[in-house]
Amino acid sequence: MNDFTISLRGLLRQVAGWMAVAMAGFCATVQAADSPNVPDTLQQRIAACTTCHGVHGEGTPGSKFFPRLAGKPAAYLLRQMQDFQDGLRNYAPMEYTVRHLRPDYMREIAEYFSAQQVAYVRSPAPVVSDAVLQRGAQLVNKGDPLLKVPACASCHGTELTGVEPSTPGLVGLPYDYISSQLGSWRTHTRATVKPDCMAVVARRLREADITAVAAWLASRTMPAHTRAQPAGSVEPPLPCGVLGATGEGA
Amino acid sequence: MRWFLRAWLLVLLAGLAGLGWVLFGQPGQRAEVVLTGPVDAAMLADPERIANGAYLARVGDCATCHTARGGAPYAGGRSIVTPFGSVPAPNLTPDRETGLGLWTFADFWRAMHLGQGRHGKWLYPAFPYTSYTHVTRDDTLAIFAYLRSLPAVRQVPEPLGLDYPYRLRSTLAAWRALYFGQGVFQPDGAQSAQWNRGAYLVQGLGHCNECHAERGALGGIAKNARLTGGQIPVQNWYAPDLSTQQNGGLAGWSEQDIVDLLQTGQSAKGAAFGPMADVVAQSTQHMTDADLHAIAVYLASLPPRAPKPAPHSAFNVARIASAGEKIYLERCADCHGRDGNGVAGVYPPLNGNSAMSEPTGINATRMVLLGGFPPATAGNPRPYSMPPFAQQLNDSDVALVVSYIRQAWSNKASIVRPEQVSTYRHTPID
């Protein structure tokens, strides 16, 4: 009986010893998890951006909305953040997110996304009739002289991959994003430095044209090269404030 | 029910307006102003006074209301939205037609000190003269000299958007009787000069109490409510208790923590967000070290009030907290730590953070939904940010994780229900 008691004590002591070792190990693990290791990188700092726009600015095709930022001209991206700050471009989550960023930081963020080279992932495009797609192709590549709408390609580049320094590419954008932007220019919830040439173009379109342009752009095959064209390689048909034009516009 | 309430308010206002009339004279009469010494052009042109005025206008955060987004500073063009309608913030530049070009200093003093406009009409209290009345004449003169020095910008103010009957200026006599106490700040001889400077800044130009106290049905703050915390109308963020209260107040904040938050937008105890991010970005980050320390000394001296009883809940709090903990470990712990202590200088702690344990749960709910950056300041020019979870978590998940955070570690606040999350899902911009 006495032996049993002693051996039980010994056993308890042993168990307690092992438990102490185990606890020490457990605490060390918990300690490690308790103090997260945070890399000092821009990518880590801008988690608020990458949740929707992707870690490399690839967009989130599953959302069918959030636009790709990768490879867009840096001056364009910076301009958009400033327009959200100034209330020219209205989208509450973006206005809230960039509200208190300073110009240097916004430029750094713009340059980060502009420099990213990452494969395009397509968003699903809506099914529309061939006639609608043809109308879209006509507007994008040739424009409509009757409506005084220039071809998209006349500013956004022959392959629609954008033009340095301030004209964004139109390839690989979700249908919902393109159509909502064209709608926003018409309803005065997207604007930029005057003269705002895109507002002029968007207001000249017929309502059905928005679907046609957005559907054609969203379903188009990717060009082989997706980099923006060099500065000065296009002659814009309308005066654009973002491209340095002054005055009240067309 | 709504019309009944409105009708009742109308009767109450009419009664109070009558009472105000009898007690305080006919609104519209120009109040007597005692000016000690004349103000001449040379005084207004004094560069030192103008520079001081520029600083004091920053302390008063005048530009935030009196500047349209993307517009010329102090030129107005923006309206302040209240539960009673919107009130345009006037043009403060010296334009003769649309700004303060024709104002004398006596007019300006009457506005700041008495809440009375140039032609004698009472000003709507969207303009916080309830606080600015505490500002000294010298400081008011410096601000006036600075505003006179700005380039004149022609900008016609937006139209008044107040609902009936609130737009009737006669009702303001009653409002003032209830909520306005006129008087320049009087130093407390028993306290240090530093404490008095802090009290002066907090109660006067800083106008902290305008957000950090509860507003009643008529939009006023009870005269004895001092920095007790309150929900900001329309914006619907909660401005926390600034006394040394436990769980939701500044208990445990050191003087340096308070200075850090006001100067850089973040501190060892929490970061600035929502409307306070605006205040830090536009105003407090530009204040001198001496003034920030004075504010900290004053706030750290405010005694806690009697603690409220722990909130009761008909829900199974333990089950909610455990389901919330699971989400916390998946989504939040990588940055804020399992222990909720955050990462110093990078991610704010959630443990003991007054923003997490304020009475309503609005702040924590909105932070989870919106994420975002703390204000970029000279002291923290490239802040780390938080992802928005609005797209990833449904109302129930947000309620669970916020409830967990509000009850974990040293936090002892009430749980949040999914219906509350749904109320605050939209993104506030102004």
Q: Report the phi/psi class of residue B394: left, alpha or beta, with left for phi > 0 and alpha for psi in -120 to 50.
A: beta
Residue contact B385–A63, C-beta within 8 A: no
d(CA B46, CA B51): 9
Cβ neighbours of B375 in A, within 8 Å: 100
The answer to whether residue B309 is domain-embedded is no
The answer to whether residue B218 is domain-embedded is yes
Q: Which two tokens stand for residue A201?
A: 């173009």
Q: Are residues B223 and B114 in the same domain?
A: no
The pLDDT value given to residue A125? 87
Indicate the pTM of the whole model: 0.88
Which amino acid type is present at position B189?
A: G
The pLDDT value given to residue B262? 98
What ipTM did this prediction achieve?
0.89
Task: Give residue B265's domain range.
Answer: 193-300
Q: Are residues B330 and B352 in the same domain?
A: yes
Work out the burial of residue B14: count CB atoms within 10 Å of its CB; fewer than 13 is exposed, 13-18 middle, 19 or more buried: middle
d(CA B49, CA B143): 8
d(CA B412, CA B429): 30
Q: Are residues B321 and B265 in the same domain?
A: no
- DSSP for residue A63: G
**Cα dist from B348 to A100, B354, B379, whole Å:** 18, 11, 16
Residue contact B339–A47, C-beta within 8 A: no
Structural domain boundaries in chain A: 42-243
Cβ neighbours of A87 in B, within 8 Å: 68-70
Q: Are residues B219 and B335 in the same domain?
A: no
Work out the burial of residue B79: count CB atoms within 10 Å of its CB; fewer than 13 is exposed, 13-18 middle, 19 or more buried: buried
Boundary residue ending a domain (B258, B275, B300): B300
Backbone angles phi, psi at B125, to 5 degrees: -75, 15
Q: Is A207 on the interface with B (CB under 8 A)?
A: no
What domain count does chain B have? Answer: 3
The answer to whether residue B310 is domain-embedded is no
**Cα dist from A58 to A80, A109, A160, A172, whole Å:** 17, 14, 17, 10
Residue contact A49–B385, C-beta within 8 A: yes
Q: Chain B residues contacting A, CB < 8 Å?
A: 68-70, 265, 277-278, 281, 333-339, 341, 343, 346-347, 370-376, 381-388, 390-392, 426-429
The pLDDT value given to residue B339? 96
- Pick out chain B residues at pLDDT < 50: 1-5, 7-8, 11, 19-29
Q: Are residues B72 and B154 in the same domain?
A: yes
Closest B-chain CA to A99: B375
Best of A46, A51, A63 to mutate (most B CBs within 10 Å, chain B): A51
Of B278, B376, B386, the CB nearest to A105: B376
Q: Is A95 on the interface with B (CB under 8 A)?
A: yes
The pLDDT value given to residue A27? 41
- DSSP for residue A228: P
d(CA A66, CA B421): 23
The pLDDT value given to residue A26? 42
Q: Are residues B77 and B150 in the same domain?
A: yes
Q: Residue B378 sits in a domain of what CATH number?
A: 1.10.760.10
Q: Are residues B36 and B140 in the same domain?
A: yes
Q: Where are the alpha helices (DSSP H) in B245-337?
A: 255-264, 274-282, 289-300, 317-331, 333-336
Q: Are residues B58 and B167 in the same domain?
A: yes
Give which of B355, B346, B197 is closest to B267, Cα–Cα. B346
Q: Are residues B199 and B175 in the same domain?
A: no
Cβ neighbours of A98 in B, within 8 Å: 373
Q: Are residues B269 and B358 in the same domain?
A: no
Q: Are residues B291 and B260 in the same domain?
A: yes
The pLDDT value given to residue B63? 97
CA A150 to mean position of chain CA atoms: 26
Closest-CA distance, A231 to chain B, in angstroms, reads: 28
Closest A-chain CA to B338: A34
Average pLDDT by consecutive 10-residue portion of chain A (250 residues)?
43 49 42 69 97 94 88 97 96 95 98 94 89 97 97 96 95 93 96 96 96 95 89 94 74
Q: Check whether the bond before A103 is cis (ω within 30° of 0).
A: no
Element of type H or E holding B230? strand B230-231
Q: Residue B218 sits in a domain of what CATH number?
A: 1.10.760
The pLDDT value given to residue A1? 37
Give me the CATH topology for the region A42-243. Cytochrome Bc1 Complex; Chain D, domain 2 (1.10.760)
Of B68, B385, B429, the CB nearest to A46: B385
| Helical axes B137-149 vs B47-59, angle rounded to 10° | 100
Boundary residue ending a domain (B147, B179, B211): B179
The answer to whether residue B212 is domain-embedded is yes
Element of type H or E holding B80? strand B78-82
Q: Which two tokens stand for residue A250?
A: 């067309």
The answer to whether residue B5 is domain-embedded is no
Cβ neighbours of A104 in B, within 8 Å: 381
Q: What is the secondary structure of B35-61 as a DSSP string?
A: -SS---HHHHH-HHHHHHHHHHHHHTT
Half-sphere exposure of A88 (CA within 13 A, CB side): 15
The pLDDT value given to residue A223? 86
